Amino acid sequence: MKDGFIRTAAVTPKIQVADPDANADEIIRLAAEAAENGAKIIVFPELCITGYTCGDLFLQELLLKNAKEALFRIIRETAGLDALIFAGLPWEKDGKLYNTAAAFQGGRLLGLVPKTCLPNYGEFYELRHFARGNREADEVRIDLGDGKMESVPFGTKILFACEEMPGLAVAAEICEDVWVPDPPSIRHALAGATVIVNCSASDETTGKDVYRESLIGGQSARLVCGYIYANAGEGESSQDLVFGGHNIIAENGKILSRSARFKNETIYADLDIERIAGERRRMTTFFSRTDEIYTKIDFHLKKEETKLSRFVDPAPFVPDAHGDRQRRCEEIFAIQYMGLKKRLEHTHSRTAVVGISGGLDSTLALLVTVRAFDSLGLSREGILGVTMPCFGTTGRTYRNACEMVKKLGATLREVDIREAVTTHFRDIGHDSEKHDVTYENSQARERTQVLMDLANQCGGLVIGTGDMSELALGWATYNGDHMSMYGVNAGVPKTLVRHLVRYCADTCGDPELASVLLDVLDTPVSPELLPPENGMIAQKTEDLVGPYELHDFYLYYVLRFGFAPSKIYRLARIAFAGIYEDETILKWLKTFYRRFFAQQFKRSCLPDGPKVGSVAVSPRGDLRMPSDASAAVWLKELEKL
C-alpha cells in the first residue's frame, strides 16, 4: 500500500448451479489464495454463491435461505484475510428479491449493493425474478445469533473507504449496470470512488470480448478510476448460454490485466490510487457532486508495502508495440509538420532555415520541415540547410549533415564560424585556450545569429531543433540554440526523437538516405563545442547530464502525475533493473530535480512549438512554473533515500 499501490484480484470460481454450500467452499478457497498473493480487494462474479443461471429456482425459499447461510459462512471463514471482498447472491428484502453484491471484510458484512439495471431482453429475463435496486442506502437487519442483530446498509449509494489508505474509496455496480447510458459508476466516481468493482455474469457471443474490454477500459478512462470486473465462467449452466470468465482490471483507460476466456482464472493488478487522485486533481472538468449523499463505510487493511507486479515501462513516451509505434510516429510527424505548415502559411514564408549539425535533433527538424514543404506544394530548394563547422565539429557529423541535406533535395549552405568566434573572443578578452562555458556558448550564439540573419536575408523562418528533454534540463544556450522562430521539436522528448528518426530511415524508400539517418542514430549525442580527440567526439552529453532514457522517465512522472521523488525512484528501480545501479538512478534523479528547477527561466521564454503528447513544457500551455521556485523540498526527500 506504500506510494498508493494496492493489489487487486478478479476471481472466477467454478460453481455448481443452485449449490451454495459447494460454491462457498470454492469462494473461500480462492479468496484465501488471492489474499496469499497479496490481493487487498477481491471481486467474485454476479450471483456466484448460487450461480447466475438458476432461473426460476431463484423463487425457491430453500435456495435463498441456503445462499444467505453460505454468505455468512464465507464471511466467518475469510475473517482472517486482510482484504475487502465482494461476492454476488440473491437477497430478499421487504418481500422483493434483489440481485446483490455483498461486501465484507474482517468477519463483518459491510454492505449490500443491489443491481440497478435489470436486463429483460434477448437471453436475459432478470425482471422475472428480481426487483430494481434503490439508490438511497436503506438498511437490512442481520441476525448474528444469540439474539444479536446488526443493521447493514443496503443500496447503490455506498462508498467503502479504507482508513489506512487515504484516497481509496470503493463502490460497486453489477454487470448490466455498466452497459447502460447512465451507469451507477458515474455517480460513484463523482461521489469520490476511486475504484469501481463489478460483479458480472456476461455470457459469451462472437466478438463480445472485444467490446467488453473497450467498455471497461473506456469507463475507467472516463471516470479516472480503477475498475475491477469479475465475470462468471465455467460451471454456470450451458443450457442456452456459455460464460467465459472474461475478467478485466483497468486503470484510467489502460487494461492492466485480462484473463483468457473459458479458463476460470484469477487475475491480479496493482492499482495506483495516487496516480488516479493526481489525475483527478489535474483535470478541472472532473468535479465532485454535492447533491448526492452517500453512505460511507470504513474498512481496515494492514499497512504494508505492496510488492509491485505491474509493468513499469522504462520508455513511457515511446509506444511499445511495433505496429502502434509506426502509427504513433506518423501521427507525431503530422502534428509537427502541420504546426509548421500553419506558421509558414501565416507568415507567407517560402523559405525555412535549419541549422544542421549531423545530430538527432536537427535531423528530425529537417525531416519535419521537408514534410511541411511537401504538404504546401513548395519546392524543397526553399529549405536552407546550414552547416556551421567550428572547433568541435567532427568529420562524421559534418559529412552526415551535408549528405542529408543533399539527399532530401534541400539547399546546402556552409558558414564556417571559426573566424567569427575567434574574433569575438578577442573582442571580449577571452582566452581561446580556456574551454569553459564562455568558449562553448559563444559558438552556440554565433550559430543562432547566423541562422537569424540568413532568415532575414532570404525572408524565411528559423526552425528550432531543440527537443523537450533538453528544455527540461536546460541543456541549451540561452539565446543560442534555445531560440528560433518556430520550434518543431519542443514537445518531443529525446527517447522519442530517436524512434522518429528511425521510423524515417525505415520508411523513406531511399537506401542512401536511410544509411545516413542510421549513422546519425549511431552517433553519440553531443553539442560538439569542444575540440575533437583524435578526430572523435570529445564531448558526450549523457556523460555530463546523465542518460536521456532516465531523464525522460523522470520527466514523465514529474509532470504527468506529480509523483514524489521517492515514488519515482521506486518506479525507476523497477523499470531499469539490471540496466542501472540504484546509486546511478538516484544520482541522476537528483541532477534532474536540480536542473529542472534551476533552468525554468529558459522555458519561460520559449518560442512557439507544437505539443505532441500528454507532457509539455510550454509556458503558454502545460507548465506555469515560477522561474525562481526552490527545489529544496524535493531534494530534501531525495537525501533521505
Whole-angstrom distance, CA of residue 102 vs CA of residue 152: 10
CA atoms within 13 A on the CB side of 200: 26
Q: Which helix (H) or strand (E) holds 353?
A: strand 352-355
Per DSSP, the residues of 89-121 read EEEEETTEEEEEEEEEETTEEEEEEE-S----S
Q: Over the Cα atoms of the chain, what is R_g? A: 31
Helix H segments across 408-466? 418-428, 437-458
- Whole-angstrom CA distances from 284 to 168, 178, 280, 288, 622 are 20, 25, 8, 11, 13
Specify whether the CB–CB gap between 581 and 593 falls below 8 A.
no
Q: Residue-wise over 303-322: b if at least 16 C-beta within 10 A, else e?
A: eeebebebebebbbbbbeee
Catalytic residue among 48, 54, 117, 175: 175
* Active-site residue flag, 175: yes
CA 375 from centroid of its chain's CA atoms = 32
CA 37 from centroid of its chain's CA atoms = 25
* Active-site residue flag, 533: no
Specify whether the CB–CB gap between 83 and 267 falls below 8 A.
no
* Active-site residue flag, 46: yes
Measuring CA to CA, which residue among 567, 563, 527 is closest to residue 544? Answer: 527
Specify whether the CB–CB gap between 376 and 345 falls below 8 A.
yes
Helix H segments across 348-394? 360-376
Catalytic residue among 40, 68, 115, 590: 115
Catalytic residue among 26, 40, 46, 567: 46
* Burial class, 488, CB count within 10 angstroms (exposed 0-12 / middle 13-18 / buried 19+): buried
Question: C-alpha grid cell for residue 452?
Answer: 537569424
Where in the sequence numbering do the catalytic residues fall? Answer: 46, 115, 175
